[in-house]
């Protein structure tokens, strides 16, 4: 997770390949690419449902671990900023779905402009909001920094450290808890 243009998609796909596990892409990017208007709160709800459907589809295949490009908590963060409110379904899903570990992307990468990114001047604000929201969930997380392979190495070290200390880890690097979710 993290602010715009922090390498979430690239890093999550890299980690999926590194750990030989499924990758859940960001549904909102695909959804917004097809829009010819500014997304509404109803669109945010549709993006929430689409993201959850992608996760559920992968969970149904019983992976031992999966890497999520993003997490639906981003819908809350984004909606609060843009609309001043967010879909109530976010809180409902937060009660039902549990994630084991988060990687929060730092804002040390240069901004990469594209048509779906809006707030280059608010990256520090959004980093702070993401960190506060994750802390409220009381779930382990790591702040990932670095450029290129240094970022990849930092992410691998963080995930490996979490897996090594996880109570369900038998010491075998290929053993992970059923339905373990890692959100980037």
- Map out the domains of the chain with their CATH numbers: 8-183 (3.40.50.300)
Q: Is the pLDDT of residue 173 over 60?
A: no
Q: Is the pLDDT of residue 79 over 90?
A: yes
> Model's pTM, two decimal places?
0.85
Instruction: Give the torsion through C-alpha atoms of 67, 26, 75, 145, to 10 deg.
Output: 60
- Specify which residues 142 forms β-bridges with: 103
Query: SS3 for 76?
Result: helix
Nearest-angstrom CA–CA distance, 10 and 8: 6
Q: Is the pLDDT of residue 174 over 70?
A: no
Q: Is the pLDDT of residue 170 over 80?
A: no
Nearest Cα to 176, choosing from 62, 58, 72? 62
The average pLDDT across 128-134 equals: 95
Q: Which of 67-71, 77-81, 154-158, 165-169 has the lowest average pLDDT?
A: 165-169
| pLDDT value, residue 183 | 52
Q: Is the pLDDT of residue 128 over 60?
A: yes
**What is the average pLDDT value for the chain, to the nearest integer?**
86
Nearest-angstrom CA–CA distance, 99 and 55: 11
Nearest-angstrom CA–CA distance, 6 and 107: 6
Q: Is the pLDDT of residue 4 over 60?
A: yes
């Amino acid at each position: 997770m993290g602010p715009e243009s922090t390498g979430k998609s690239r890093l999550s796909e890299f980690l999926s390949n590194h750990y030989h596990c499924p990758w859940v892409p960001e549904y909102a990017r695909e959804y917004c690419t097809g829009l010819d208007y500014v997304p509404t709160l109803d669109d945010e709800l549709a993006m929430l449902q689409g993201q959850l459907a992608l996760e559920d589809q992968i969970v149904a295949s019983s992976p031992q671990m999966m890497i999520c490009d993003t997490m639906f908590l981003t819908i809350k963060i984004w909606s609060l900023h843009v609309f001043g409110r967010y879909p109530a379904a976010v809180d409902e899903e937060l009660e039902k779905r549990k994630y084991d570990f988060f990687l929060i992307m730092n804002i040390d990468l240069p901004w990469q402009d594209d048509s779906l990114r809006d707030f280059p001047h608010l990256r520090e604000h959004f980093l702070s909001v993401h960190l506060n929201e994750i802390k409220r969930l009381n779930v382990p997380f790591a702040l990932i920094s670095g450029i290129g392979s240094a970022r990849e190495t930092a992410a691998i070290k963080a995930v490996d450290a979490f897996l090594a200390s996880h109570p369900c880890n038998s010491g075998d690097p290929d053993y992970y808890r059923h339905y373990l979710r890692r959100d980037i």
